[in-house]
Structure 1
Amino acid sequence: MSAQSFVSSKTSRVQWIAKVSILAAIAFVLMLFEIPLPFFPPFYKLGFDEVAVMISGFALGPLAGATVETLKIILNLVFQGTDTAFVGEISNLLIGLSLVLPSAIYYKKHKTMKGAFIAMLIGVISMGIIGCFANYFIALPAYSYFYGMPMDVIVGMGSSILPLVKDTFTFVVLMTLPFNLLKGVVVSLVVGILYKRISPILHR
């Protein structure tokens, strides 16, 4: 490898790290501003942190998206701490990765408007499915245990909104799944609006 190509490669790595770090910081800040929704339990809040994560995945590749998602969670742990012995954070990480990784992997091979739409659709469906499993097996049990709140109480929050919610399974299907799908769609719409404006900056 020549000295010039070595310097160029090193510069590219430094630029990649800088861009990923900035996007992770933006995602962390956005994570602090979550909006409660009246038709979901109070602990399900809509945030826009995944917008920065998805933009990084589309512009810089799947590895960048996964790195931004992970750094965002780490920053939140450093500044906000954890009430669930990292269990809630692991669940959030899995859900975030389930959105960004499939969509970024698909978009990397299909960089067209149609490809972006399909990529987002794949990500939303993936997040909906993985989010159900993560909530059923990880997040909801952790929330119940660490906050001393029986699952019946959590289920009751859902049934007060939708009487069809009778147990943990129906809670996940009728509360968690619609919430994650809604969040995925909203995030995808925002990414669709912003990406073409931000992408040239990230590719410089």
Structure 2
Amino acid sequence: MYNQVSAKKSIFSTSSMVKISILSILSYLIMFIEFPVMFFPAFLKLDFSDIPAIICGFSLGPVAGIFVELIKNLLHFVTKSSTGGVGEFANFLVGGGFVFVSSGIYYINKNKKNAILGCIAGTVAMAVIGGIANYYILIPFYSNMFPIEAIVKMGSVVNSAIVDVKTLIYYAVIPFNLIKGIVVSFITAVLYKKVSMVLK
């Protein structure tokens, strides 16, 4: 298991802070590139802004990855937020959960097995936290602007099994985050070895 004190020192070194800053800005920029996924409600859009944070977490540790998620969402809140910070907070919880779990497992012992286990566990964490965040934070927020029925209807249009908020979470939000976690994990696996040498 990695030494917490040395990890803190490395995170706050000049070199690490520069890397975290660059990856945070990259993550923030990628956040603007999002697109809907077939068979899911239009408000669930896929983006790959968690990838720089995961790569940072794999290289510098889970706390560094969390910093990338935090800075990314703070930048988005200051420049683009349409939810008064609610969307960014939920995004931080979901992305941060994935990054912390996946990179935390990998960072204990950097090998292929832990990378796979970390990504699987991170994907499950993303799905669970995504469901909770939508149920308790995002959907209640949007219900102030749109009736709950209208939000549910967006889901029932693509899946007739969606009839209320709970089924929206079960049949749309959780499966969407599982798919997102798998896709993000795959892309991270392809990119990490190519960029990890630069981050050492």
TM-score (norm 1): 0.91
> How much is the aligned-residue C-alpha RMSD, in angstroms?
1.5
Q: Distance in 2 between matches of 1:75 and 1:87?
A: 14
Number of equivalent positions: 192
* More divergent stretch after superposition (29-38 vs 162-171): 29-38
Equivalent residue, structure 2, for 1:157: 154
One-letter code aligned to 2:180: K
**Does structure 1 retain, via aligned residues, the 8 Å contact 2:77–2:84?**
no
Q: Distance in 2 between matches of 1:199 and 1:161?
A: 40
Q: Deviations over 1:33-88 (max 9, x none)?
A: 001113111111110101111000001101110000000001111221x2222122
Name which one, 1 or 2, has greater alpha-carbon Rg.
1
Which residues of 2 match residues 71-150 of structure 1 at below 5 A?
Answer: 71-80=71-80, 82-145=81-144, 148-150=145-147
Equivalent residue, structure 2, for 1:5: none
> Secondary structure at 2:13's aligned position in 1?
helix
Equivalent residue, structure 1, for 2:6: none
> Secondary structure at 1:161's aligned position in 2?
coil
1:179 and 2:176 aligned: yes
1:33 and 2:30 aligned: no
Structure 2: stretches of 5+ with no match in the other structure: 1-8
One-letter code aligned to 2:47: G
> Secondary structure at 1:114's aligned position in 2?
helix
One-letter code aligned to 1:44: L
> Secondary structure at 1:187's aligned position in 2?
helix
Q: Distance in 2 between matches of 1:132 and 1:105?
A: 22
Equivalent residue, structure 1, for 2:194: 197
Q: Distance in 1 between matches of 2:173 and 2:194?
A: 32
Equivalent residue, structure 2, for 1:6: none
Equivalent residue, structure 1, for 2:63: 63
Q: Distance in 2 between matches of 1:103 and 1:91?
A: 18
Q: Distance in 2 between matches of 1:88 and 1:76?
A: 10
TM-score (norm 2): 0.92
Q: Distance in 2 between matches of 1:191 and 1:67?
A: 18
One-letter code aligned to 2:89: I
Structure 1: stretches of 5+ with no match in the other structure: 1-8
Identity value in percent: 38
Q: Distance in 1 between matches of 2:148 and 2:193?
A: 44
1:167 and 2:164 aligned: yes
